[in-house]
Amino acid sequence: MDYKKSNAPTNTVTRDVNSLCENTGNVYETVAIIGKRANQISVEIKDELKRKLEEFSSNNVDNLEEVFENREQIEISKYYERLPKPVLLATQEYIEDKTYFRNPNKK
């Protein structure tokens, strides 16, 4: 999923718990679903950031004086810092019914 185009808020938003748990009927199940999805999103974003930053890494650095700041690398890092947090993205996906979940204990 393209998290850059998500309409999730960048700041914490107060939500009505009762309206969030309408699909499951259980607040704890809803929180568990959103939490698991947030973990998945976090791993995806970290992997993507790591891949982009590896393009700038050099393994042949002999001493610390040869390490320099790369403006593109800094801009990429700042961009990912400004993205909405994974839990906000997961909550927005859940509200928009873009999250698939199932409970094996229920039919």
The three-class DSSP label of residue 15 is coil
Distances (CA, A) of 72 to 4, 10, 14, 23, 40: 18, 23, 35, 43, 27
| 11-28 pLDDT per residue, tens | 778 888 888 888 888 899
79-83, 86-90, 101-105, range with the lowest pLDDT? 101-105
Crossing angle, helix 27-54 and helix 71-82, to 10 degrees? 170
